Amino acid sequence: MAQGFHIETPRGRVITVKTKSGNVTAKLEWKSGFGTEKSGDFSKAQKFVDSECLRYMDPLTPRRTGMMIKSGTLGTVIGKGEIEYLAPYARRQYYENRGGSGQRGKKWFERMKTAHKAVIIKGTQRIAGGGG
């Protein structure tokens, strides 16, 4: 006769069985719909991260006509997890811009991350945990 135990939670359950021969097997069963629900929360969290990155980078991104900033908005698919600037000169500006007035200058993503990482992480955790 097999012996074992099982743990039940609102998200699913874990069942272990030990046979007479000493073999132990464990089985994880997710609650119906749990994966879909979590995928939706993760998707919302990724959209939040992408849009917040663009928003916080705006005042740090070099700007002459505003086209490079717009190329980031147009080139980024919110929720994909990648920020893409379509302007052909964006890469060079990212690494070589000498700055100018105010906060605008090179490596705007790195500078944005240093200043706003904690706020973005906190919001992401709230959303991914299903809190918003």
Domain borders along the chain are: 1-31, 39-128
Compute the average pLDDT of residues 12-34: 78
- In single-letter form, the type of residue at position 100 comes to G
Q: Pick 18 or 106 by higher pLDDT.
A: 106
pLDDT band at 7 (very low <50, low <70, confident <90, very high): confident
Q: Are 52 and 33 in contact (CB under 8 A)?
A: no
Q: What is the pLDDT of residues 38-96, one digit of tens each?
A: 788 899 999 999 999 999 999 999 999 999 999 999 999 999 999 999 999 999 999 99
Q: Pick 34 or 113 by higher pLDDT.
A: 113
